[in-house]
A and B are shown apart, each in its own frame.
Chain A
Amino acid sequence: MKTYSRLALLGLLAALFYARPAVAQLDPFEFEVYPAKTVPRGMLEVESLNSVVTNGSRHGEKGTAKGTLPSQSMWRTAVEVTYGLTDHIEAAAYLNLAKPRGGDLQYAGSKFRLRGSLFDPGELPVDLGWYAELAYARTPKFDDQKLELELRPIFQRDIGDFSLIASPKFEKILVGSEAKEGWEFGYVSGVYYRWMRAFMPGLEFYGAIGMMKHPDPVREQQHYIFAVAKGEWRGIEYSFGPGFGLTHGSDRVIAKFNIGLEKYIGALFGPSSGGLF
C-alpha cells in the first residue's frame, strides 16, 4: 500500500510539474527603470523603447520569448506616449512591435498604464511611487497569455550624486490559460551616478522568479544586468547599453536603446493641493 501511495504521490507531483505555468517572464518590450516622480503636469512625452537579442534562444518560450517565436535576433520596439495628468499622476499607452529573425516588423501587443508619485521628491525619507499596467499581447507568437495586470511600488532614494531605484513587480494573468494561477513576482531596479545632465552611467537590473507561491528553480529564472548610459541632450532623452543574462533561463546578451522627447502641451488640471493627486 505504501508503494502505491508513493507512486500516486510521485504521479501527482509529476502532473503538477507538467501543469506548471510557463517559466518566469519579464517584459522584453520595456527595459526601462521608472523613477518615483512622474512626467510633469501638462507634459507630453513620446518614447521609442528598443531592444535586440544578440545572443538568445533558438526556441520559442525560452529566454525573453514569451510566445512561439524564438528570442534570437528578435528586434522589439515599443512606442510609448505619456501625458502628465497632474503633479502626481501620469497616463501612458504603448504600441508594441517586433521583428523576428527573417520576419517582418509586426504588431505584438499594447499596454496602458497609470503611474503615480506619493508626495513630492524629498518630502519622505524614501520617495515613493506606484505603477499599474494592463498589457494585451498577441498570442501565440509573442506571448502565451492574452491579458495581464501588473502592479508595482517604486522606491527611490538619492544619496549624494547617486540615485537608487527599486521596484518589485507583481503580475497576474487575467485572460489566458494561466488566468487561475496566482501572482508572479519580478523586479526592475537601477542605480545611477548623476554625473552630468547629458551623461549618467548606471546599472539596471531586471528579473522574474515565476509564481510567488512556487518560484521557478533559480536556473530557470530570468535575471539580467544592464550597463547603461542615460541622460538628456538638446531636449532628447536617451538610455542605452548592453544587458547580460545571469541564469540559464535568461537570454545571453540583449542590447537596448531608448530615446524620448518631451513637449509641454498644457495642463488639464491645476496644481496639486495634496500629495496623492
Chain B
Amino acid sequence: MKYLMIALNLALLAAGGPAWAAPADETVVELRYENRKFVPQTLNVPANRPFKIKIVNAGKEAIEFESFKINREKVVGPGETATISVPALKAGSYDFYDDFHRDVPEGTIVAK
C-alpha cells in the first residue's frame, strides 16, 4: 500500500508538476519566436517575484532560449510551446538569446 501511494504521488507529480511551485497569482509572460526574431523583444516582469515565461516557437526551426544571467536554457522545437520558471529577480535588465542562431536579435527581460 505504501509503495502504491508513492507510485501514485509520483505519477501525479509527473503528470501535473509540483503544485506548490505554481501559485494561482503567478505571472506568466508569453514570448513568441517568429520570422527569426523574438516578439516582444522586451519582457516586462515584476521585480522580486518569481514568474514564468511561456515560449512559443512559431518558426520553422528549433531554437534554444538561453539566458546566462538567469541561468536558464530550453530547446523548443518548431511549432512547440515550452514554459520555464524564473526565480525572483532584482530590478534590472537580463538579456536572453537564441543560442542556436546567434544572429537573431537578443531580447531583454526588464524587472521593475
Contact = CB atoms under 8 A, between A and B. Distances in A.
Interface in B61-93: 62, 64, 68, 71-77, 80-87
Chain A contact residues: over half helix, strand or loop, or mixed?
Answer: loop
Contacts of A21: none
Interface residues of B, number: 28
A121 B85 contact: yes
Chain B contact residues: over half helix, strand or loop, or mixed?
Answer: mixed
Given A274-B15, A277-B14, A267 B62 contact: yes
Given A122-B85, A194-B68, A264-B64, A43 B75 contact: yes
Contacts of A115: none
Contacts of B18: 119, 123-124, 275
Contacts of B62: 42, 264, 266-267
B21 A124 contact: yes
Given A42-B62, A122-B50, A123-B85, A270 B80 contact: yes
A274 B87 contact: no
A271 B76 CA distance: 8
A3 interface: no
B13 interface: yes
Contacts of A270: 77, 80
A133 interface: no
A40 B75 contact: yes
Contacts, number: 74
Nearest to B52: A122
A180 interface: no
Nearest to B57: A271
A41 B75 contact: yes
Nearest to B15: A274
Contacts of B73: 37, 40
A197 interface: yes
B84 to A, nearest CB: 6
Contact of A119 (B15, B21, B82): B21
Contacts of B81: 271
B110 to A, nearest CB: 19
Contact of A267 (B10, B21, B72, B77): B77
Interface in B5-28: 10, 13-18, 21
Contacts of A264: 62, 64, 75, 100
A120 interface: yes
Nearest to A41: B75
Tell which of A119, A122, A163, A267 has the most Cβ of chain B within 10 Å.
A122
Nearest to B74: A40
B1 to A, nearest CB: 22
Nearest to A42: B75
Interface in A90-132: 119-124
Nearest to B22: A123
A274 B100 contact: no
A158 interface: yes
Nearest to A231: B68
Given A264-B100, A267-B75, 16 more contacts: A40-B64, A84-B75, A87-B74, A120-B83, A120-B85, A122-B87, A158-B87, A163-B71, A194-B68, A194-B71, A271-B77, A271-B82, A273-B15, A274-B13, A274-B14, A276-B10
Interface of B: 10, 13-18, 21, 50, 62, 64, 68, 71-77, 80-87, 100
Nearest first, the 4 A-B pairs at minimum CB distance are: A122-B85, A274-B14, A40-B75, A276-B14
